[in-house]
Chains A and B, each alone.
Chain A
Amino acid sequence: MTLGYLVRRLLAVILVLIVVTFAVFAITMILPGNAAVMILGEYGTDEAVAALERRLGLDKSWYIQYFSWVKGILSGDFGQSLRLSLPVADVVGDAFLNSASLAGIALISVTIIAIPLGVLAAINRGTVADLVIGVFSYIGASMPEFVTATLLLLFLAGPALGLLPAGGFVALTESVGGFASHVILPATTLGLILTAHISRQVRSEMSEVLSSDYIRAARLKGLRERRVIRRHALPNSLAPAVAVISLDVGYLLGGIIVVEEIFAWPGLGRLLIYALENRDLPVIQAITLLLATVYALSNLISDIIIAILDPRVRYA
């Protein structure tokens, strides 16, 4: 993998992001209603709405708004949230950190759990362990987050058990234990569907690798099974697993919207729903751009990891 390749990939990412901003801006511009109406709600008189529109700059035409927005971004200024009267960068920045911590924990635990599960299932193909993992993964992959979250709330956080807080957020800097107890349910909800998906993918990759010629060759060299799995099979099934995980980041970024809403996690997803409901365009724009960037970068990073794992890609 050359520097030129990386630069080209980064340029492609930027190109993609330009398409994204333009598309999103176009969509948000034609959303019915605007922030002024939403802010004042049912107590807004026509005069008050007009006054607020003037103050928020909503009376200008869309391309002026778009270009001033793009200009702002290029100079690092994401503008002012229409609804929250705070700089977008502050609002979105805080939310991003919170989302990142939740998504990061979910992703890391998923990776730690799903890959061994998939490997275990592949090695023990056709056994009870495989069946149990298979059943789990199908159930996991078929439950939307809001169902999982609701059932977890009902049983784990409900009055019957009350093991965990039913939602909310404690910053890591305030209390590590508080953060941990609050992050468990949302992270579990997010993680379940991904664990199911990734372990299934790893299982099929691993099964394919295990039935490959070079694994047969390795075994016929008299190597012990442990070495065959660890040294020969795993590295070859990890690269596809990384690709799957990076694609699932996109899914995670979607799932986080629902999970944050239910568990009162002050992250991007909840902010996005709030911004959508209030037609807070600068915030919608910034979040979409941010999520698309994260997604694109995660794909880029996964490509780099795959290149490290698989020498064929590295020198291609």
Chain B
Amino acid sequence: MTPTVFRPSGAGLRSAAGFLATLALGLALLFGAPHTLDTFGLVQCTGFAALAMFGLSQGFVWGFAGVMSFGQAAFLGLGGYAYAVAVLNLGDSTLPVLCAIAVPMLFAALLGYFMFYGRISDAYIGVITLTVSVILFQLVNATSGSQYRIGAAELGGFNGIPAIPALNLPGHPGEPLDTDGIWYAAMGALILVYVVLRAVLASRFGRVVVAIRENETRAQLIGYDPRLYKLLAFTIAAGVAGLAGCLYANWGGFISPTVFGLPMSAQVIIYVLVGGLGTLVGPMLGAVLIQALIITAGSQSVLDSNLGLGLVLVGFVLLVPQGLVPVLRGLSWRLIERRAGKAAPGPLATETAR
């Protein structure tokens, strides 16, 4: 199945070109970075890759399924903790990675069933997801003390879980990947998830998900059950966020309840908004830009990072509500077409955005 099946021909070409360009850039980064960056740079980029995947999760569920999850951090945290607890108990990291994907998906399936089949309106879904992430934060935060342990893993409450073993090749526990290896795993996973999400969106399932975002009543009246599609999209996004949490735990070898916190859910919404709602590249780009901004603010302490984020958020809502990627794409295509001597046909901002 290709994304061009039912797409306006011009936009389809552009979209395919955009997809290939993103893929090429991703692969170039994947293999190029270990040879051009020092260890620290690579570690830094591994962190960016984990957060970019978190951005993808929010970008998918919000931008394509139209589900306003204000508590996506809940799934990031569940994924990270599931990985940490499982790997500390099992040693080999293969099953723990699957746990990091499965546990958030299971949780999302239950929560989603509760919300979507309970006919809870969109705004309230935002409130409930946010509240659920607050509840998880408070519960995990209150697990200090050695009585709170799952097998060999002490949950550690506010302190979190330090010294989490890194990923290893399947079947070789005790030989954790080095910095390069974790980079390949993280960036490779990011590219894979991007490709998979593209395929999902190009499939019939994906088209219906987008159609439901556009008009839930109409989708119902032609025989689709919006509750089911939203639930599935919500669950898929939770799995992606869980994998991001697993990578995040690998990146620092450490996880604490702050991954469940409101600032984390806030950041990921800002990634999507800045990068571009309704795109997959945008949230990844937004993640890198915003994260770089936070880190720079911290080491300079010139501009308070909250103040910076707040201004960025208000500025984008008021001035660039569609986000960077759609704007940049529109501009670049227009430039290319002008250079090629063609007039820019039709509206392309929204179509190329997908």
A and B co-occur in one complex? no
Interface residues of B (CB under 8 A from A): none
